[in-house]
Copies of this chain bind each other. A is one copy, B any other.
């Protein structure tokens, strides 16, 4: 028997839906879609052409339509908004969770946003506006207002009655938030606690007063760290006065983690981070994100050129020396990039902190000696065996092989120290360590590797 496979099932479903659509069996199509997961419905619709997509979308019930809509990317959202009536749009906006609506507003073009805001009820409009005012990527900007709040003096029975009454539209009902008369957060109580307790117990006795919370202006990266440290399902967000204003749920945190990691990876490759996925970024925008670092690094290489120019005559005295410059620079760049990457990732995971600088340097120092010596010995053998004996290159003498091999040791040591120290230093003075990564470090090591090589050549070859 074959291993069950969810993807294969989904593909089969998608084929069946297309057949229903081709044969205009709309009632059956609607029934099937209402039963499916909203993400899969969104995937199915995205594969259709615009006209059929809008047509099929309008078959959905208001609730399903809103859920499917929240799963669309911006271009599909825009297309749908442009092809439905104001009252249909209003229905969807009211059904959306505030955080999904705010996400959408931040991406859509201004004229579409205007139309959405016009169709929304005044309450929704003011709520969306309030959320749009929180700084980008703050806890306030990713939180939602749909949570269950309870009071200390409620009994378990009363709490369940309240959950049943208001729970339908909440993002999570499993964590309930206990607030004072002034909306201050006093504790949390889970549905599990409530289920396992006697129906007459008061919430005040059950609740956990030791609540982990975030403040509205807190960075989303720090919020994500709390979810991962404390294994949370939902995190309350409080304002300056300690009043509960919203909650962040774990499903949003998965997206935050992906987004933050993508930004780090982009910075490490010398790309300015952008919120838009690669597939939807136009060449001109990609150019704008990539050219600043390319330009800066190209111009920084002027130093390396100047060094080479001033030692050109000296290098020309011993033929063969120039041929190994790219290899030395490459080895320096790769060694530095390895250290920088390891340190940047450890800093971002909280595995090491700036105060560990000495311990890190001591560790990288030992790694550098091990790596430098290994590479040096192998290179010495390779130059004598391959370049000198087999390829018969007359300029690769014992002295040249020694010069290159000794330079490797010092270059690797310099690269690994700089590669580990620059990110830690950046973090210490409050800069993002990720920008101290590979491209910057290789440009720096390029120049220094060259100097190291030239001085060792002077010492050994007496030139």
Contacts and interface: CB of A to CB of B under 8 A. Distances in A.
A109 interface: no
A106 to B, nearest CB: 19
A51 B257 CA distance: 37
Most buried by B among A1, A261, A312: A261
Contact of A269 (B215, B338, B352, B395): B338
A26 interface: no
Contacts of A191: 174, 191, 195
Interface residues of A, number: 130
Contacts of A290: 335, 338, 367, 371
Contacts of A68: none
A303 to B, nearest CB: 10
A345 B301 contact: no
A387 B319 CA distance: 26
A95 to B, nearest CB: 16
A327 B345 contact: no
A207 interface: no
A3 interface: yes
A329 B327 contact: no
For this chain, the copies found in one complex come to 2
Interface in A243-281: 250-251, 253-255, 257-258, 261-262, 264-266, 268-271, 277-279
Given A195-B167, A230-B37, A375-B298, A238 B4 contact: yes
Contact of A370 (B1, B168, B287): B287
A293 B213 CA distance: 44
A358 interface: no
Contacts of A182: none
Tell me whether chain A's interface is mostly helix, strand or loop, or mixed: helix
Given A195-B173, A320-B309, A326-B308, A277 B351 contact: yes
Contacts of A338: 269-271, 290, 293-294
Given A229-B39, A301-B331, A284 B370 contact: yes
A167 B277 CA distance: 42
12 contacts: A228-B255, A250-B250, A264-B265, A266-B342, A271-B338, A278-B351, A279-B352, A298-B375, A309-B320, A316-B316, A326-B450, A333-B442
In the A-B complex, the 5 residue pairs with the closest CB atoms: A301-B327, A269-B341, A231-B251, A283-B366, A287-B370
Given A173-B192, A309-B323, 19 more contacts: A39-B230, A254-B257, A265-B265, A266-B345, A269-B338, A271-B342, A278-B351, A279-B359, A291-B370, A294-B334, A294-B371, A295-B374, A301-B327, A302-B382, A305-B326, A312-B320, A325-B325, A326-B450, A334-B442
